[in-house]
Structure 1
Amino acid sequence: MISKLLKKQQLMNYKKYLLMCLFVIGICFGEAKAQKLDGVFGGAQLYTTPFNGMQISYFSVYFRADGTYTDNMKSRTWRTDVTGKYSISGGAVHFVYKKDNETYKINSSGNLESTQGIRHTLYKMKAITSIPAGAFERKSASSSGGIGTNMPYVGAFSSDFLFFDGKGNFSADRSSVVGVMGEVATGGSIGGKFSNDKSTAGTYKLSPGEITLSFNNGKVDKHSLFYSPPAEQDMIVMDGDFYFRKDKDELVKERPNRSVKKSTGSSSTTTSNNSASSDAGVSAGELLTKLRATYGGAAIDKVNTVKETSTITGNMQATAITDIAARKFRLEIRQNGQLLMVKQAAGVDSWQWVKGAKSALSEKDKTDMELSLYQGVMGLHKNLNNYFSTATVAKSKGDNMVTFLVNGNKVIYLIDAGGNIKANAYSVGGAANYSVYRNFVAKGGITYPSVTESSDGKNKLTVTTNNIEFNPVLTADTWKTP
Structure 2
Amino acid sequence: MKQFLLVLSAFLFCFYDNVFAQDKLDGVYAGCEFSPSPIFGGGMNRTDVAILFRPDGTFNSSLNSADWQTNVSGHYTISKGEVTLKYTKSSSVYGITKYGSLSNYAHELFKLQGNIIPPGYYSFISAMGGGGAAYGTTYVGALSTQGLNFDGNGHFSNSRYSGSVVAGENVGGGSSSSRNGSGTYKINKGVLTLTYTDGHTELHSFFCDMGGKTRMAVVDGRVFFVDNDDNTTANNTKSSTAAKKTSENSATNASNAAVPNGKTLLLKANAAHGGDKLNALKTARLTGSVSGLKVVELIDIPNSKVRVEIWKNGKPVSVQQTEGSNGWQWSSGNKSDLPANNVAEIKTALYTGVIGLRKSSLDQMQVINTQKIPDNDMYTVQCRLNGNEYVFAINNQNQLMAYGYKVGDKTLFAMLSDLRPVQGITIPYREATTSGQQKLNIQYESMDVNPVLDGQSWAVPAGN
Q: What TM-score, normalized to structure 1?
A: 0.44
Larger CA Rg, structure 1 vs 2 = 1
Q: What TM-score, normalized to structure 2?
A: 0.46
**Greater share of residues in strand:** 2
